[in-house]
Structure 1
Amino acid sequence: MAGPAAGASRLDTLRAKAQAAIERRDPVSAEVMLRAAVRSGTSEDALRAHLGEALLAQGDRIEARKVLEAGAFAPGTESLGWRVRGQIALAEGNLQAAANAFDMALRSNPGDSDLWVAIAALRFSGGEQLQSIEAADRAVQLNPRNARALAFRGLLIREQYGLAAALPWFEEGLKVQPDDPALLGEYAATLGDMGQYRAMLIVCRKLAQVDPKNPRPAFLQAVLAARAGETDLARTILQRTGAAFRDMPAAILLAGVLEYRAGNINVAVEQFDRLVRMQPDNLEARQMLLRALARQGSDQPLVSRFDGDAQQPWATPYTQKLVGQSWQRLGQKQRAGALLALAAKPHAHGPAPLLTEFGSAVLGATYTDGPNRAQTAVPFIRALLKEGRKDEAQTAADRLRDANPGAAEAHLLAGDVRIMRGDVAGALADYQNGAAIRFNEPVLRRMDAALRALGRVRDADSMTSRYLAQNPQSLVAMQLLAAAWASGPRRDAWTAVSRALAARGQPVSAR
């Protein structure tokens, strides 16, 4: 960062030095010099915004808020002060307070690139993914050399188009800020997800050098060791991260898998159970908990938790088998026999709604109060579908989508209801709109199924192949292509993708 311009006032020079210290990841020095200036007689209002930023950079949100709310911001610092107040609110999950603060900052300086990055983060947190993309684009336009803007745009590109498309954005950001920890972390994670493990390790080493206390390199290396089957090494590396990722779902899942592999089944059950309680609709986590309970021999807890899952139309034969075996050991032969018979004759099924605790009569009241909010609309829609009221569910889903046009998930939900009503073409249109905002594996599954149901096999193959090119480690894309090519003329293509799956320990569709 350039130093203060010649002829600048003493106050401008002080602010520039504090900003430079923050930029080089030394916010403590910034705080020290700012507080010393206040003790020497400099107006607190003149330095309030910069002191709040220094405190937030240290992670001290309480003291930062106290400083920022203790008085006014001097002319010329209003935008920074309100932006930092908004960032504190965003970090605490208070999206409305963050939005209000960012609005105040915009009034002072609508051309602040960093402010538009913060607005992009707010919109993404609120599920407004399309609006987040627009804000990130605005940030880059205002300052093409803003490393934070380039990094956030790279994150959104990764969600929107895939891993390979995101790499140039991270690389461009690193040209501007080669030692930025956040950029290095996202770059390393993207390289790892693409299977470029050697490059990932190089970036991790760089990140560890520039930010020795950063736990992310250790986490990424633990993931790499786990993928390589080095369970003990992965557990050792993951333990070095301490409590840094204690509440991160991906880290909880990794810890559970590693403990399961190591034979520590009780610990694995604890990890998977915690993840399921955090994310009750996470089917992967539910499956892992089921598997761990079965290996633990906890038949009664297993049937209590998963008998409902086994009865659902979307239940896997594996789920039905394990629940049936537990009922068998508990002496419930009739229940066991029914489930084991279902597991022995797996059949294809269409989409089905996930479970809801209450019916539409109970959920309708909260839905009426907030029909445009996912937390009230989604359970109500599921309940309507379970009761066979598909047209009403479609109306509610379309209303949610129209009220949240920038949220990919709202488009997917509307498409899912259409699929259940037999309108495959209409569902595909919703899925395509969602994919234009965020194209991930859940979208891929839906679009692939819809295209094939409409007889557009070549389009499905092309789309899924392009997704695999962008995300070369995607097991979902490989499995879809293997299943599609198993009975067709593309023997060479089927052989290649089947070998890739087999190398990753995945089952292969028979040809």
Structure 2
Amino acid sequence: MTFRPSLCAALAALALVLAGCSGGAEDSARRSAGPVSPAFVRLLDEADKAMAQGALADAGRKLDEARSLSPESPDLWLAIARLRLRGGEHLTALEAADRALALGPNHPPALLLRALIVRDAHGAADALIWFEAARKAEPANPDILAEYAATLGDSGQAGAMLKMVRALAEIAPDDPRVPYLQAVLAARGGEYTIARSLLARSEMVDRGVPAALLLDAVISLEEGNADSAAETLETLAARQPANTRVRELLARALLAGGRDSELIRRFSAEAALTEASPYLLMLVARAYERSGDRAAAAPLLARAYGPMRGLPVVLAVRDGLPTPTAGVRRALLAGNGGNARAQTEALRRQFPASVDVASLSGDASLGAGDPQAALTAYALASEVRRPWPLTRKAVWTFDRSGNHEAAELLLMRQIAGETDTASALVALAERQAARGDWVRAAVLLDHAMMLGSGHDPALLRLRLRVARELGKAEDTARFAALLAEVQPRRLSPR
């Protein structure tokens, strides 16, 4: 897949699912909002190359030179935004992106970057207006169409996504994002054979694109090829050790493939952690049960089928975590909130514009018993990106502070922006059920199941209760049967 060199590093820094740059000769010409000198273009190209090689200081010097030649160029400020993103200066990168947009209100690359930042910070729904503005500014830009299509899909608009993919195919029929996005649509529609064929045409699995690897594994699981899915997920888990969804899918693939001992060896220690999800607990418990170890399975089942848990936990220290994150987690796990806070305060002095540090600071403040400071830090981090784990902590903190309305509003905005976050859907469904709004709870839970969470025993238990409260006999029988299917026999240690 090819992105313009002027956007490539920024897209990578924003962790796009379709990241990956392979600019060819035809992409070397920089699209500018106005006339610029050849020397200016050369300096921006050299800065791009320096950033790609990790030479950020050299890139900064090149951009300083370029700024002296054309300080009002949107391309200059886009390059500055990319450099700041690469250097972890997220908040000042946002300022540079705003400057680029102010200088070029109709400059397609500036509009696209703003759309991507809004998507990260506020979700897919809020970003759509920016993607539409970028498309109107340059209707035949493949990058804009591809990202617009992906964002429409993330916001639950499958029909509009298909229309945008067709537009992309018309102007760039050989773009690998065309069959990839078509594969995503086919998989969401349950057409896994078609999805497999389209994904193969994209060649993105061979290139190791993470989103394509994940889609490949999901298709393999649905087709009954558990060993193939496990192999793919092993590769992806090694690259993304903190990705909970990938690890849980790997555990599911191992269980589906009858590799019980391997599942136990790989995930039993993780299942012992407080942070383990009911789904992972159930998977490990079933592996123990099939291995004949009732004593090991019983306590895991008790936790998996116990009440849903809303309390935040301190996440474990995993291999591959950044050193500062690991240090703060160790302090919090040891109950030393003051030390964790001192670490993050030192980091904030060193990296005041980093949203990663702001988020970590919020965690430390929460662990030290200061929810208001935690909310301030989380709000700062969410100016650039607002992933579900961050929102979940902010929701809990609002609830703890007694501001339940703010907590629910934030949760609803999260779901509106990311319609495919199953755990967020379940969290909101719990709130609706608590107030007796069984119809809305049913809609939320059904959507979560459609996304692939139908094996989660906690979700099924709540959905069964909703069916009973609504007096739906047929649904009650169906969800009781589904729960019985995923729920092993109740065990007690011998």
- TM-score, length of structure 1 as denominator length: 0.76
Q: How does 1:251-400 map to 2 (within 5 A)?
A: 251-330=212-291, 334-345=295-306, 348=309, 350-356=311-317, 375-400=322-347
RMSD over aligned Cα atoms: 3.0
Partner of 2:202, secondary structure, is coil
Structure 1 window deviating more from structure 2 (402-411 vs 446-455): it is 402-411
Following the alignment from structure 1 to structure 2, what is the Cα–Cα distance between the partners of residues 401 and 296? 46
Following the alignment from structure 2 to structure 1, what is the Cα–Cα distance between the partners of residues 308 and 444? 24
Partner of 1:239, secondary structure, is helix
Q: 1:434 to 1:245 in 2, by over 3 A?
A: farther
Q: How does 1:42-441 map to 2 (within 5 A)?
A: 57-58=24-25, 76-243=37-204, 246-330=207-291, 334-345=295-306, 348=309, 350-356=311-317, 375-441=322-388
Counterpart residue type for residue 379 of structure 2? Q
CA contact (8 A) 1:56 1:88 kept: no
Q: 1:480 to 1:317 in 2, by over 3 A?
A: closer
Partner of 1:240, secondary structure, is helix
Compute the displacement of 1:145 (Å): 2.5
Q: How does 1:28-47 map to 2 (within 5 A)?
A: none
Compute the displacement of 1:142 (Å): 1.6
Compute the displacement of 1:329 (Å): 4.8
Following the alignment from structure 2 to structure 1, what is the Cα–Cα distance between the partners of residues 204 and 450? 33
CA contact (8 A) 2:242 2:318 kept: no
CA contact (8 A) 1:111 1:142 kept: yes
CA contact (8 A) 1:317 1:346 kept: no
Q: 1:407 to 1:248 in 2, by over 3 A?
A: farther
Structure 1 window deviating more from structure 2 (439-448 vs 495-504): it is 495-504
Counterpart residue type for residue 288 of structure 1? L
CA contact (8 A) 2:50 2:59 kept: yes
Partner of 1:395, secondary structure, is helix
Q: How does 1:5-24 map to 2 (within 5 A)?
A: none
State the Cα deviation string for residues 5-55 of structure 1 (Å, max 9, x = none).
Answer: xxxxxxxxxxxxxxxxx99xxxxxxxxxxxxxxxxxxxxxxxxxxxxxxx9
Partner of 1:464, secondary structure, is helix
Q: 1:271 to 1:504 in 2, by over 3 A?
A: closer
CA contact (8 A) 2:184 2:195 kept: yes
Q: 1:175 to 1:453 in 2, by over 3 A?
A: same
Structure 1 window deviating more from structure 2 (275-284 vs 246-255): it is 246-255
Structure 1 window deviating more from structure 2 (410-419 vs 308-317): it is 410-419
Map of 1:463 onto structure 2: 410
Counterpart residue type for residue 250 of structure 1? A
CA contact (8 A) 2:359 2:390 kept: yes
State the Cα deviation string for residues 452-508 of structure 1 (Å, max 9, x = none).
Answer: 222212222223233434445554443222111211154554455445445556546
Map of 1:27 onto structure 2: none
Counterpart residue type for residue 146 of structure 1? H
Q: 1:130 to 1:321 in 2, by over 3 A?
A: same
CA contact (8 A) 1:351 1:416 kept: no
Compute the displacement of 1:103 (Å): 2.7
Compute the displacement of 1:187 (Å): 1.3
Following the alignment from structure 2 to structure 1, what is the Cα–Cα distance between the partners of residues 152 and 86? 24
CA contact (8 A) 1:253 1:275 kept: yes
Counterpart residue type for residue 411 of structure 1? A
State the Cα deviation string for residues 48-90 of structure 1 (Å, max 9, x = none).
Answer: xxxxxxx9543899xx9xxxxxxxxxx9432211210121233
Following the alignment from structure 1 to structure 2, what is the Cα–Cα distance between the partners of residues 120 and 257? 35
Compute the displacement of 1:251 (Å): 1.5
| Identity within the alignment, % | 34
Structure of higher CA gyration radius:
1
Q: 1:321 to 1:380 in 2, by over 3 A?
A: same
Partner of 2:276, secondary structure, is coil
Partner of 1:486, secondary structure, is helix
Counterpart residue type for residue 280 of structure 1? P
Compute the displacement of 1:338 (Å): 4.3
Counterpart residue type for residue 318 of structure 1? Y
Compute the displacement of 1:346 (Å): 5.5
Compute the displacement of 1:144 (Å): 2.0
Counterpart residue type for residue 414 of structure 1? S
State the Cα deviation string for residues 361-410 of structure 1 (Å, max 9, x = none).
Answer: xx9xxxxxxxxxx8321112222223333221121123224433333332
Q: 1:311 to 1:100 in 2, by over 3 A?
A: farther
Structure 1 window deviating more from structure 2 (475-484 vs 339-348): it is 339-348
CA contact (8 A) 2:106 2:137 kept: yes
Following the alignment from structure 1 to structure 2, what is the Cα–Cα distance between the partners of residues 324 and 384? 30
Following the alignment from structure 1 to structure 2, what is the Cα–Cα distance between the partners of residues 79 and 324? 62
Following the alignment from structure 2 to structure 1, what is the Cα–Cα distance between the partners of residues 206 and 365? 38
Following the alignment from structure 2 to structure 1, what is the Cα–Cα distance between the partners of residues 184 and 234? 21
Q: 1:300 to 1:279 in 2, by over 3 A?
A: same
Following the alignment from structure 2 to structure 1, what is the Cα–Cα distance between the partners of residues 252 and 446? 27
Following the alignment from structure 2 to structure 1, what is the Cα–Cα distance between the partners of residues 421 and 306? 28
Compute the displacement of 1:213 (Å): 2.0
Structure 1 window deviating more from structure 2 (388-397 vs 220-229): it is 388-397
Counterpart residue type for residue 309 of structure 1? E
Partner of 2:365, secondary structure, is helix
Counterpart residue type for residue 190 of structure 2? G
Following the alignment from structure 1 to structure 2, what is the Cα–Cα distance between the partners of residues 260 and 89? 42
Counterpart residue type for residue 371 of structure 2? V
Following the alignment from structure 1 to structure 2, what is the Cα–Cα distance between the partners of residues 340 and 175? 54
CA contact (8 A) 2:176 2:204 kept: no
Following the alignment from structure 1 to structure 2, what is the Cα–Cα distance between the partners of residues 356 and 398? 20
Counterpart residue type for residue 25 of structure 2? Q
Where in structure 1 are there 5+ consecutive unaligned residues?
1-21, 24-54, 65-74, 364-373
Compute the displacement of 1:199 (Å): 1.9
Where in structure 2 are there 5+ consecutive unaligned residues?
5-21, 30-35, 454-458, 467-494
Following the alignment from structure 2 to structure 1, what is the Cα–Cα distance between the partners of residues 67 and 206? 34
